[in-house]
Amino acid sequence: MIIPTVLEKDFKKVKEKIKLVEDYVKWVQLDIMDGVFVNNETWNKPQRINTKVKLEAHLMVQNPEKIIDDWLKIVDRIIIHFESTKEVKKIIDKVHKKKKQIGLALNPETDIAAATPFLKDLDLVLIMTIQPGWGGQELKPWTLDKVKFLRKKWKGDIQVDGGVNNENIKKIRKAGANLICVGTYIFSKKDIKKAIESLK
């Protein structure tokens, strides 16, 4: 599944980008950054968005447990970073109590073993294939080894995010990822529909 990622500082642009893709996909990812956990800041005030797609919030923020309640009101899935909190299990339980999905993201340098204690409770694991914070980076090929390793031991959803395009997507799929986040490649094209089709 292709999941367009929206990384914007302005709420109006967030809504515009969702409108551009909502006829062609089932999910859209909102990239939420606080300027602390990563060296960038995006729109990060939860506001309801009228759309036909499901939304997931990728919280690239320090201590996501402090803001998670507000995001749970407007999205269907929350993704937190292992490196950003000491309360992973508490957050997982809270999100599931609200009948929403929860994913755990791992930065490129974080060993896949970090996710192991939580696998039975997670809806997805997100393997970052770039350093989080900025769009337009090149995918780090060695991160796909983590995808392969995880796929051998886990049948759940594996998401990949960072540097995806129509040239490397086959390798990503072959490694075992089934949810593939794409931002720059999609939104840099004039024909959005064609760009998404080329990835599929």
What domain count does the chain have? 1
Q: Which domain holds residue 170?
A: 2-199
- Whether 10 is a known active-site residue: answer no
What pLDDT does residue 38 have? 87
Confidence of residue 119 (pLDDT cuts 50, 70, 90): very high
Residue 135 has pLDDT above 80, yes or no: no
Q: Give the mean pLDDT of 166-180.
A: 97
Phi, psi of 4 (to 5 degrees): -65, 140
What average pLDDT is seen over the chain?
95
94: which 2 tokens? 């809270």
Crossing angle of helices 192-199 and 11-21, in 10° steps, is 60
Higher per-residue confidence, 117 vs 40: 117
The span from the CA of 104 to the CA of 112, in Å, is 11
Residue 9 has pLDDT above 90, yes or no: yes
CA–CA distances in Å: residue 180 to residues 41, 63, 126, 136, 160: 23, 25, 9, 15, 5
The span from the CA of 160 to the CA of 155, in Å, is 15
Q: Give the mean pLDDT of 174-198.
A: 96
Catalytic residue among 23, 111, 161, 191: 161
Decide if 149 contacts 112 (C-beta within 8 A).
yes
The span from the CA of 84 to the CA of 68, in Å, is 13
The span from the CA of 194 to the CA of 154, in Å, is 33
Residue 91 has pLDDT above 80, yes or no: yes
CA–CA distances in Å: residue 36 to residues 24, 39, 68, 149, 162: 33, 6, 16, 30, 20
What pLDDT does residue 167 have? 94
- Whether 31 is a known active-site residue: answer yes
Catalytic residue among 10, 23, 31, 76: 31
What pLDDT does residue 82 have? 98
Residue 134 has pLDDT above 90, yes or no: no
Q: Give the mean pLDDT of 107-126.
A: 97
What pLDDT does residue 44 have? 86
What pLDDT does residue 131 have? 84
Share of the chain above pLDDT 90, in %: 88
The span from the CA of 41 to the CA of 33, in Å, is 5
The span from the CA of 124 to the CA of 156, in Å, is 6
CATH classification at residue 195: 3.20.20.70
Q: Give the mean pLDDT of 22-38.
A: 94
What pLDDT does residue 141 have? 93
Share of the chain above pLDDT 70, in %: 100
Decide if 53 contacts 26 (C-beta within 8 A).
yes
What pLDDT does residue 133 have? 78
Decide if 13 contacts 188 (C-beta within 8 A).
no
The span from the CA of 95 to the CA of 165, in Å, is 31
